[in-house]
Structure 1
Amino acid sequence: MDFSLPDDHRMTRDAVRAFAEAEIEPIAQEIEDEKRFPAEIFDQLADIDVMGVPIDEDFGGLGGGQLLYALVVEELGRVSGSVGLSYAAHVSLGSKPLDMFGTAEQKRRWLRPLATGEHMGAWALTEPESGSDASDMDTTAERDGDEWVLDGTKQFITNANVAGSVLVKAVTDPTAGYGGITTFIVDPAEDDGFEIANVWDKMGLNASPTCEIHLDDVRLADDRVLGEPGDGWKQTMKTLTGGRISIAALSVGIAQGSFDVATEYAQEREQFGQPISEFDAIRDKLVGMDRKIERARLLTHKAASTYDNGEEAVRISSMAKWDASEAAREVSNEAVQTLGGYGYTTEFAPQRHLADAKLMEIGEGTSEIQQLVIGRQLGL
Structure 2
Amino acid sequence: MTEYEQEQDAPAVDAAGADGTAWRVFHATGAAPAGAPPAIPPAPPWREFAGQPLQPAPADDDRAERRRLGAEDPRPSLRDDEIDTVNAALLLRRPLLVTGPPGVGKSTLAYLIARELGLGRVLQWSVVSRTTLREGLYAYDSIGRAQAIATWRAGVTAGAEASAGAGAAVGAGVEPAGREQPPQLGDFITLGPVGTALLAYERPRVLLIDELDKSDIDLPNDLLHALENGSYEVPELVRGALPAVSVFTDDPGARAEVVGGRVECREFPVVVITSNGEREFPAAFRRRCLPLEMRPPSREQLVSIVISHLRSRPEGVDTLIDEFEKRVREGGTQSVDQLLNAVHLTTAGGFQADTDGRKLIELLLRDLAKGR
Shorter-chain TM-score: what band? 0.3 to 0.5
The structure with more radius of gyration: 2
TM-score, normalising length from structure 2?
Answer: 0.34
Which structure exhibits the higher relative contact order, with contacts defined as CA atoms closer than 8 Å and separated by 6 or more residues?
A: 2
Higher helix residue share = 1
TM-score, normalising length from structure 1?
Answer: 0.33
